[in-house]
């Protein structure tokens, strides 16, 4: 009998989703469903954190190697579950009285399950199924405020582009299958390594281009980013948190699994293409973020810029013909930055939700509650929310003592270590540019003229924000307090797990 305990975190979420859906039919007090969801997510998160260092390969009968629970999968699982917990706490407030909240919670749980399946799969087919499960659930969530035309617009754009990206991914996968006769990622890598000329055939180039474009849509790389600002702006803020922090990182989980193993095996020069993609993504994201007047849209563009930073992992991997210490450091940096960005961005979108809620309930009808003018003097009107939001923005900008600094430092250092000094300089310049628009929001909050009296701050939203900030500070402090047990060790173990041939 196969030991399924490593899959318990995923199983718990599936059961919770079913329980929430069925309980929603019978209970009259629907608020309890949010707490059931929270318990399920926390138990699952606890199991993932307790077993972060396991390496279980299900190569036996039911899965045949398609499912692998390794530190790489666990770091992404922890990321998705933490984001899930934050979004769940925020939605206790945002959808506490909503008549269809059972659907919201079960969709959110199923989206998290899909993301976790992507993280643990090592076969293109299971990966795609997880990808679609998460996508389908998030399409519906983006349009959850169905009376709001902006939410519908967001959902429609997200659905159309998501459908296009899924079809590109499947098309690329089918070409790869046609070339190698395998869907398992290791088998594909072995097939490419065995036949050196195979990777430069037109079919292989076409397949990889389609995979990059397909996953690029999900990760919002420029020029595949057009949907992201509209969707993040139009969707309900807490759903934007899940999209930017969870769904996007799922794209990275899939792309890391496929491209890192694939690029090492293929030995074809994708270095230039990935450099252009990464530099374009971070620069366009940052420059467009500067000119935004809506804070939510600014966060959306900054999320594109952060995707660009993480994309330098692909540059470094494709730059090296053989895996090397620098590659492991780069992947560790990429994982850490994905983690810090997930926490920071989820927190920032929840803060936007909290501020929007306060403005709408106090100031009455305003055209756009997310407009920067409404953030004037928020430091006096809502001191706790403003302070936590400012800290989250600092983490996104990469200012210590927050985890965003550590992750950016490790990532850019890996780029220098790999000998890509020019790329590192572009990253640092971009990072400096990004401080401007984060600081602009902080400045308006603390030095702007207050437009009205003080708000009553919602304790639920504040609690979610406080958790995000505390986790970011703890992760920053961990290397100094317990050097042998920090998140960097986890990230590096994960990097080694995803690069099996690595001798460090």
Partner 1 sequence: MTDAILDYIPIGVMLILALLIPFVILFIVKQITPRNPARFKNTTYEGGKDPIGGAQVRFNVSYYLLAIVFVLFDVEILFLYPWASCYKNPEVLGVFPAFTSVALFEMTLFILLLLVGYVYAWKKGAFIWMR
- Rounded to a whole number of angstroms, the minimum distance from the CB of residue 387 to partner 1 is 42
DSSP reduced 3-state for 275: helix
- What is the C-alpha separation between 342 and 322, in angstroms, rounded? 30
23 binds partner 1 (CB under 8 A): no
- 469-492 as b/e, with b when 16 or more CB fall inside 10 Å? bebbbebbebeeeeeeebbbbbbb
Q: Which range in 16-24, 289-297, 371-379, 486-494 contacts partner 1 by CB under 8 A? A: 16-24
Q: Which helix (H) or strand (E) holds 69?
A: strand 67-69
Q: How far apart are CA 499 and CA 22, in angstroms?
A: 42
Q: Does 32 bind partner 1 (CB under 8 A)?
A: no
User: Smaller CB distance to partner 1: residue 24 or 379?
Assistant: 24
Name the minimum Å distance from CB 194 to partner 1: 21
- Which residue stretches of 199-247 are H helix? 202-219, 227-234, 237-242
Of the candidate spans 20-28, 186-194, 325-333, 485-493, the one that interacts with partner 1 by CB under 8 A turns out to be 20-28
Q: Is 14 in the site for partner 1 (CB under 8 A)?
A: yes
Find the binder of partner 1 among 25, 50, 456, 481 (CB under 8 A): 25
Using CB under 8 A, pick the residue from 3, 5, 10, 18 that binds partner 1. 18
CB of 238 to partner 1, least distance (A): 23
Judged by beta carbon, residue 10 or residue 312, the one nearer partner 1 is 10
Does 61 bind partner 1 (CB under 8 A)? Our answer is yes
Q: Is 22 an interacting residue with respect to partner 1 (CB under 8 A)?
A: yes
Instruction: Assess 27 for contact with partner 1 (CB under 8 A).
Output: no
Which spans in 58-201 are helix H? 71-94, 101-120, 124-142, 149-180, 185-194
Smaller CB separation from partner 1, 102 or 233:
102
| Residue 203 interacts with partner 1 (CB under 8 A): yes or no | no
Task: Quickly count: other Cβ atoms within 10 Å of residue 198's Cβ.
Answer: 16
CB of 33 to partner 1, least distance (A): 13
Interacting stretch for partner 1, rule CB under 8 A, among 14-22, 69-77, 390-398, 471-479?
14-22
Q: What angle do CA 93, 79, 358 make, to 5 degrees?
A: 25
Beta bridge partners of 67: 58, 121
Binding flag, residue 62, partner 1 (CB under 8 A): yes
If phi > 0 it is left, if psi is from -120 to 50 it is alpha, else beta; for residue 322 that is beta
Task: Name the segment binding partner 1 (CB under 8 A); options: 17-25, 251-259, 315-323, 395-403.
Answer: 17-25
152 binds partner 1 (CB under 8 A): no
All residues at 6 or more sequence positions from 36 whose CB lies less than 8 Å from its CB, including other chains? 16, 19, 20, 23, 105
Query: Out of 8, 21, 156, 205, which residue is the one contacting partner 1 (CB under 8 A)?
Result: 21
Give the number of C-alpha atoms closer than 13 A to the C-alpha of residue 482, restricted to the C-beta side.
8
User: DSSP class of residue 199?
Assistant: G
Maximal CA-CA distance, the chain: 70
Let me know: does 368 contact 405? Beta carbons within 8 Å. Answer: no
481 lies in the binding site for partner 1 (CB under 8 A):
no
Residue number with CB closer to partner 1 (18 or 322): 18
Based on the shown chain and the rule CB under 8 A, indicate whether residue 147 belongs to the binding site for partner 1: no
Q: State the nearest-atom distance from the C-beta of 14 to partner 1, in Å.
A: 8
Query: Rounded to the nearest whole angstrom, what is the least distance from the CB of residue 433 to partner 1 in the complex?
Result: 47
**CA trace torsion 201, 207, 210, 215 (10° rounding):** -130
Nearer to partner 1, 62 or 364 (CB): 62
Q: Which stretch binds partner 1 (CB under 8 A): 15-23, 49-57, 76-84, 162-170?
A: 15-23
Place of tokens 């660009």: 308
Q: Which pairs with CB-CB distance under 8 Å and at least 24 residues apart come from 195-202?
A: 196/267, 199/266, 199/267, 199/268, 200/268
Query: Is 125 near partner 1 (CB under 8 A)?
Result: no
* Residues lying near partner 1 in the complex (CB under 8 A): 1, 14, 18, 21-22, 25, 61-62
């Amino acid at each position: 009998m196969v030991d399924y305990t490593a899959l318990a975190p995923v199983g718990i979420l599936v059961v919770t989703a079913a329980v929430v859906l069925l309980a929603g039919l019978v209970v009259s007090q629907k608020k309890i469903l949010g707490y059931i969801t929270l318990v399920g997510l926390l138990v699952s998160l606890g199991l993932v954190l307790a077993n972060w260092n396991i390496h279980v390969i299900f190569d036996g009968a039911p899965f045949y190697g398609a499912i692998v629970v390794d530190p790489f999968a666990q770091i992404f699982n922890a990321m998705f579950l933490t984001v899930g917990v934050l979004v769940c706490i925020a939605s206790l407030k945002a959808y506490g009285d909503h008549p269809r909240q059972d659907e919201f919670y079960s969709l959110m749980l199923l989206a998290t399950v899909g993301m976790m399946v992507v993280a643990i799969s090592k076969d293109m087919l299971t990966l795609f199924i997880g990808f679609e499960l998460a996508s389908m659930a998030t399409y519906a969530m983006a349009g959850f405020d169905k009376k709001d035309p902006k939410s519908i617009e967001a959902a429609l754009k997200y659905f159309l582009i998501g459908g296009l990206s899924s079809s590109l991914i499947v098309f690329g996968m089918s070409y790869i299958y046609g070339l190698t006769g395998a869907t398992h990622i290791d088998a594909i890598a072995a097939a490419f390594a065995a036949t050196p000329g195979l990777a430069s055939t037109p079919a292989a180039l076409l397949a990889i281009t389609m995979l990059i474009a397909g996953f690029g849509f999900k990760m919002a790389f420029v020029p595949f980013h057009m949907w992201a600002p509209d969707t993040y702006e139009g969707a309900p803020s807490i759903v934007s948190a899940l999209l930017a922090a969870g769904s996007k990182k799922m794209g990275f989980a899939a792309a890391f699994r496929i491209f890192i193993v694939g690029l090492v095996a293929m030995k074809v020069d994708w270095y230039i293409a990935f450099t252009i993609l990464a530099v374009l993504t971070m620069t366009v994201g940052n420059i467009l973020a500067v000119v935004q007047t809506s804070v939510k849209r600014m966060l959306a563009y900054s999320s594109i810029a952060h995707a660009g930073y993480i994309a330098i992992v692909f540059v470094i991997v494709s730059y090296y013909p053989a895996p090397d210490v620098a590659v492991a450091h780069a992947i560790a940096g990429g994982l850490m930055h994905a983690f810090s960005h997930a926490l920071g961005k989820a927190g920032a979108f929840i803060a936007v939700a909290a501020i929007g809620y306060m403005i709408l309930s106090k100031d009455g009808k305003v055209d756009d509650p997310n407009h920067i003018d409404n953030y004037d003097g928020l430091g006096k009107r809502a001191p706790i929310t403003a302070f936590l939001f400012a800290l989250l923005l600092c983490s996104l900008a990469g200012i210590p003592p927050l985890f965003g600094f550590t992750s950016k430092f490790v990532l850019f250092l890996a780029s220098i270590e790999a000998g890509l000094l020019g790329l590192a300089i572009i990253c640092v310049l971009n990072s400096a540019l990004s401080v401007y628009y984060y600081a602009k929001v902080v400045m308006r909050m603390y030095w702007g003229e207050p437009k009205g009296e003080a708000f009553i701050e919602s304790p639920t939203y504040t609690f979610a924000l406080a958790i995000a900030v505390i986790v970011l500070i703890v992760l920053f402090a961990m290397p100094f307090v317990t050097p042998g047990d920090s998140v960097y060790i986890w990230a590096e173990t994960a990097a080694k797990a995803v690069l099996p041939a690595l001798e460090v």
